[in-house]
Amino acid sequence: MRTTLPLLFGFVVGFFMLGDYFIPHWSYQLVKGYILEFGTLLASTAFLLGIINLIQVNLPKIIAKEKDWFYKAIMLLSMVVTMLFGFAEGEARMDEKQVYKWIYDYIFTPLSATMFALLAFYIASAAFRAFRARNADATILLTAACLMMIATVPIGEQIPFFGEYLLHLKSWVMDVPNVSTRRAIFVGAALGTISTGLRILLGIERSHLGGD
């Protein structure tokens, strides 16, 4: 019963929501709205459980002063302070919450930018290893990457007798091979998503229930 009931619930609700694309009747849309509100409530509960789990995992390490406990303490303190100011300023719009917006604009955003700036070096290192011309495919990838990088920077179009052709080549590569490849990837991802969704709805895929 512990497994059958969640599978049955997921099957009924899942296929009911699929009917939204085929049944325009107002009563159906009304029930769908209630289900979506219930889903929003469940998502909010998941955030609450995430906060509780974060405290349960990190607080004992802070008390025991394990390795890097100071950073964990800063994380929990930042979370609590941000939540307190968010609750204190009520249901106002984001741009009207002065303290909360200040924390977001002058603490969270610079930290995020710093993280992405550091990731750029790791990406460059990974690209250097991946773009080694070990075979024909890697050589094509390396050549295309070099041409695109040169065409993207301002100095690329300043190259005598070649800059204009390089810009046209960049536009062609971005509009034809790149777009067609991205569409193929998206189609494959969509088919994979549909397949996974059907496996979950039909009870074939049970890993989300804690099974194998």
Write the pLDDT tens digit of every residue in 120-139. 788 777 777 776 767 777 77
pLDDT at residue 191, as a whole number: 92
Q: Which domain holds residue 45?
A: 1-64
Q: Is 80 within a domain?
A: no
What DSSP character marks residue 131? T
Q: Is 88 within a domain?
A: no
Q: Is the pTM of the predicted complex or chain greater than 0.85?
A: no
Q: Give residues with Cβ within 8 angstroms of 58, minimum separation 6.
A: 72, 75, 76
Q: Is 42 within a domain?
A: yes
Q: What share of the chain is helix, strand, coil (3-state, %, to 5)?
A: 85, 0, 15
Q: Is 205 within a domain?
A: no
pLDDT at residue 183, as a whole number: 94
Structural domains in the chain (count): 1
**How far apart, in whole angstroms, are the C-alpha atoms of residue 97 and residue 91?**
9
Ranges of residues in the chain with a pLDDT under 70 are 1-2, 90-97, 131, 133, 206-212
Q: Is 35 within a domain?
A: yes
pLDDT at residue 209, as a whole number: 66
